[in-house]
Each structure stands twice: as structure tokens, then as C-alpha cells.
Amino acid sequence: MSKMAADPKLFSGADKDMMFGMAQQEMEYRVDLFNRMTQTCFEKCVARNYKESDLNVGENSCIDRCVAKYWQVTAIVGQMLGSQKPM
């Protein structure tokens, strides 16, 4: 770990504001990603006519696969964006 990452006293006020803004953006991105994943997998996997209070085996399995694929794709896209050379 670098000294700067270990000691927040080394950052100026502007640096702290920028880091806070970046952390806030990251949190908003994560919340949005989670909400979109939840909505997508729910619409795809859960029957519209609720018969039981719990998910059945098929719905559980579908949601597990859907979430796994969503995270795989997110990781792949992140890797692809991270490997692109800046302009």
C-alpha cells in the first residue's frame, strides 16, 4: 500500500473532495447496477401470478443463473473498458 493511500492527512482539500466525488459516483453506479440486475432477473425468472410466498425451485435456479451471467458480463465489459487505451 502506498503512503498516500495509508495516510489521508497527505491529501489536500481538493484531493479529498475529488476522492469523495469518485467514491460517491462508484456507489451510485453499484446501486444502479444492482437495481437493474434485480429488475432484469425478476422479470425474467419470476412468474407474474404469485401462487406461493417463496420462490420455487425453477425460479431460484433461474435467478441464480441470471445473476451469475449478469456479473460475468459486467466483469467482461469492465475488463474491456479498462484495457482500452485512453485517447
Q: How far apart are CA 69 and CA 47, in angstroms?
A: 20
Q: How far apart are CA 84 and CA 81, in angstroms?
A: 5
What percentage of the chain carries pLDDT values higher than 90?
A: 52
Q: How far apart are CA 23 and CA 13, in angstroms?
A: 15
What is the reported pLDDT for 3?
47
pLDDT tens-digit map of 54-85:
999 999 999 999 999 999 999 999 899 888 76
